[in-house]
Structure 1
Amino acid sequence: MKKIALFAGIGISLFALAGCSNQKRVVGSKGDQYTVNKDVQKVDNDSSEKEYEPYTITLNLERSGAGQNMEETFTSAPKRVVADGDQMVDFFLDLGLEDHIAGFTRGSCLDTVNDFPARDKLNKILPDGQNLNKASKEQILSLNADFMIGWDSLFSDDNFSVDWCLKNNIIPYFPYSCSDKATMEDVYKDYDTLGHIFGVSDLAEQRVQVMKNTIEEVKNTLGEDVYKNPVSVFVYDSGEDAPFTACQGIPGDMIKLAGGISIFNDIDKGWATPSWEEVVARDPDVILILDYDHDTEAKKKFLETNEFTKNLRAVKEGRIYSASCSDMQGSAGSANAVKLMANEFYPDKFK
């Protein structure tokens, strides 16, 4: 998949603290170093007012080149978020935090499950389909961002390094759900973490419970026998010379919850680029196309005419389905995407 990263900024001054083996910082609205201030803030999550409770997170940024985990303590919510792509934006829109978004990029992956009207009113930094790696540091600084969310590649030395972010009082956030070993539990963890950081933990808990209820409904509908004998699934994200496909991580877990298993589940990564010959050898029961921008039909036509895939059982039997690329990365629409996939894989179970 085209990995997208960054969340539209939420305002809060960020101040560096001392570091031991892990770097530790406290961030708050008063600018006090080495102290934890309790600033009272209004929280709009179906309750009246709440006192902001300081919250500490450990950022796992080793994959981005930071070299170590980093500890951050928030004493007030960020106010100017920069978000890279629809997947990241959806977290904030689902938590009613659109006013915190200083800027965002619309990814190629459109969310087909959640229709958030507020998205159209947000400040778009770059043209559709371009991620923040295309933005300049000057563009980001002009937004007065204090929080960025996205894939780990966004925070590499080639883009907006962790050191650069911290030097400019921007907290980098790499969602747990984006790791190669992620499951739906990590989506819930992102909701819980963002809920605490932005003072909407009650609403985050409600959103998570709704997702858990949806997954439980799917499990009860499919039954144990389905999970013992799942359908084999080839996920077609993109690529003509060789397919870019989902293996493990959040997409792999979502497919398993829907009663399937990726034909490349043996690859110890979230995403990989095997060969077409390997796809043919594994001859999947179904094909799942990841829809980027209503491009399912074009990809389907390619699979139906490509010399390697045109004779696959799934193609001949017409068992080609689609899912939103954004939802399959782990976000607001993931639980509903599991239900939609289960409906496609086992239509007789949902009559």
Structure 2
Amino acid sequence: MNSKKFFKVFVVMIALIVSLVGCSKKEVESNENSNVGGVVIKNYGITTKYDKVPERVIPLSYDAAQILVALGLENKIVGVATAEGSHKDCLQKYQEKLSKLDIIVEGTPNFETLLSKQPDFVYATVYTFGKHGVAPVEDFQREKINFYCINGTYSKEPSISDIYTDINDLGKIFRKESEAKKIVDELKERENLLRNKIKKSDIKVMAFDSGDKTVVTSGKGIENEIISLAGGKNIFSDLQNSFEEVSWEEVAKRNPDIILVHSYDQGETAGTVEEKIKKLKNNPALENVTAIKNNNFVVVKLVEVFPGLQVFDAAERLNEKIIQIEK
């Protein structure tokens, strides 16, 4: 083959390669951003087919909103409900974007307020669909609003892997699978580091959310997993629900070494951390409890004990206290 012919063939081959690469790149962009092709997701016992990417999204808490922002979906969020938190409770790298979201209500919205924003997708905890929530599942279905219920708030045996399921499912729904995989891989790496580093202990831990006549504490929910991951033992791990009420006398009987205090100053159970700790210290039923006598309190943000991106922050902080006690 002479040099002119070789050059012509070479140019044609290069043009073909460039064309194929360009098409491939467009296909990837199309798969992530277009509404072509359906995605089938099973969640909360309901199978939903997403023929197109949701465009008007409402997360009903900041921990939920944070995951959507981490996936790069802030432009699809038409409003957020604060639940009992603030954007300032979230990871610093997402706070600026979260602060710009339109707050539809301080706390939990009623169904009419939610409908006024015309959402086509709602991301929320199981409590959204309960007696004191927004509305039953049937109401969402009647209005043709798709929803995703956070797995760790309703599964029978909540675990850290529920968080990964949420993120991967959201990645599929919004055609952000590569972004979801990156987030999950980073979280799994952190989880593995914790599991390899932390040793199990006999330190007894109780979560204190709120309460006057009775105590709202954590049972068999994601916080139980956090306590276990930190190396402690949840004294109420035998309770079947994520949050349950128990008596002060039962707390004294089980005698926790550490009390995890939930920090949030908004909503129906408002009260500063200082007020909560003072209440615990002044309760005569708890005067002989080890955690009270030794001033062993660990403060955790509410977003850190709900299934989301910050559960390992809570585990690490609790583990530091456990190590301190065992020295």
TM-score, scaled relative to structure 2: 0.81
CA contact (8 A) 2:206 2:259 kept: yes
| Contact 1:259–1:342, Cα closer than 8 Å, also in 2 | yes
Aligned partner of residue 188 in structure 1, secondary structure: helix
Aligned partners of 2:249, 2:208: CA distance in 1, in Å? 14
* 1:148 match: 122
RMSD: 2.5
Q: Deviations over 1:4-28 (max 9, x none)?
A: xxxxxxxxxxxxxxxxxxxxxxxxx
1:308 maps onto 2:280 in alignment = no
* Percent identical residues: 24
2-structure distance, mates of 1:161, 1:50:
31
Alpha-carbon separation, structure 2, partners of 1:306 and 1:348: 23
Asked whether the 8 Å contact 1:192–1:201 carries over to 2, the reply is yes
The answer to whether 1:326 aligns with 2:310 is: no
For 1:72, which of 28, 48, 57 is the aligned residue? 48
CA distance in 2, matches of 1:175, 1:209: 19
The answer as to whether partners of 1:218 and 1:342 remain within 8 angstroms in 2 is: no
Asked whether 1:342 is paired with 2:316, we answer no
- Give the Cα separation in 1 of the matches to 2:120 and 2:34: 22
Q: Does residue 278 of structure 1 match 2:255?
A: no
1:255 aligns with 2:227: yes
1:119 and 2:98 equivalent? yes
Separation in 2, partners of 1:321, 1:206:
31
CA distance in 1, matches of 2:69, 2:202: 34
User: Higher RCO, 1 or 2 (CA under 8 Å, sep at least 6)?
Assistant: 1
Distance in 1, matches of 2:241 and 2:147, equals 23
Cα distance per residue 1:165-203 (max 9 Å; x no partner): 222221022111112521101011101111111111111
Superposition map of 1:152-191 within 5 A: 152-156=126-130, 159-179=134-154, 180-191=156-167
Match of 1:308, SS state, is helix
C-alpha distance in 2 between matches for 1:112 and 1:153: 20
**1:25 counterpart residue number:** none
The answer to whether the 8 A contact 2:222-2:307 is kept is yes
- Change in CA separation of 1:210 and 1:126 when aligned onto 2, cut-off 3 Å: same
Structure 1: distance between partners of 2:262 and 2:30: 40
Quick one: distance in 2 between partners of 1:300 and 1:188? 33
**1:134-145 to 2 correspondences below 5 Å:** 135-137=110-112, 139-145=113-119
**What is the identity, as a one-letter code, of the residue corresponding to 2:173?**
I
**Deviation of 1:154 (Å):** 2.0
What residue number does 1:93 align with?
69
Is the Cα–Cα contact under 8 Å of residues 280 and 292 in structure 2 kept in the other structure? yes
What is the alpha-carbon distance in structure 1 between the residues aligned to residue 206 and residue 83 of structure 2?
23
Aligned to 2:5: none
How far is 1:95 from its partner?
1.6
Matched residue type, 1:281:
K
Correspondences of 1:1-150 after superposition (within 5 Å): 41=30, 43=32, 54-60=38-44, 69-110=45-86, 112=89, 114-115=91-92, 116-127=95-106, 130-132=107-109, 135-137=110-112, 139-150=113-124
Q: Deviations over 1:238-294 (max 9, x none)?
A: 001111000112110111011112101112222211100000001111110011138
Summarize the alignment of residues 227-266 of structure 1 with structure 2, pairs less than 5 Å apart: 227=200, 229-266=201-238
**Residue identity matched to 2:183:** R
Conserved in 1, the CA contact under 8 Å of 2:111 and 2:135?
Answer: no
Give the structure 2 partner of residue 28 of structure 1: none
* Partner Cα separation in structure 2 for residue 51 and residue 343 of structure 1: 47
AA matched with 2:153? C
Name which one, 1 or 2, has greater alpha-carbon Rg.
2
* Farther off after superposition, 338-347 or 269-278: 338-347
Question: Could you say if the C-alpha distance between residues 257 and 201 of structure 1 is closer, same or farther in structure 2, counting changes exceeding 3 Å?
Answer: same
**Alpha-carbon distance in 2 for matches of 1:54, 1:334:** 32
Structure having the higher helix fraction is 2
Tell whether the 8 Å contact from 1:214 to 1:336 is kept in structure 2 after alignment: no
Q: TM-score, normalised by structure 1?
A: 0.76
| Structure 1 CA distance for aligned equivalents of residues 318 and 34 of structure 2 | 39
Q: Is the 8 A contact 1:214 1:339 kept in 2?
A: no
Q: Distance in 2 between matches of 1:40 and 1:72?
A: 24
Deviation at 1:163, TM superposition (A): 2.5
Note the C-alpha offset of 1:113. Answer: 5.3
Asked if the contact 1:52–1:199 (Cα under 8 Å) also holds between the matched residues in 2, the reply is no
Equivalent in the alignment of 2:186: 210
Q: What one-letter code is carried by the residue in structure 2 that aligns with 1:338?
A: A
Structure 1 partner of 2:14 = none
- Which secondary structure does the structure 2 equivalent of 1:185 belong to? helix
Aligned to 2:23: none
Give the aligned length. Answer: 291
Contact persistence 1:39–1:51 (CA under 8 A):
no
| Bigger shift: residues 49-58 or 100-109 | 49-58
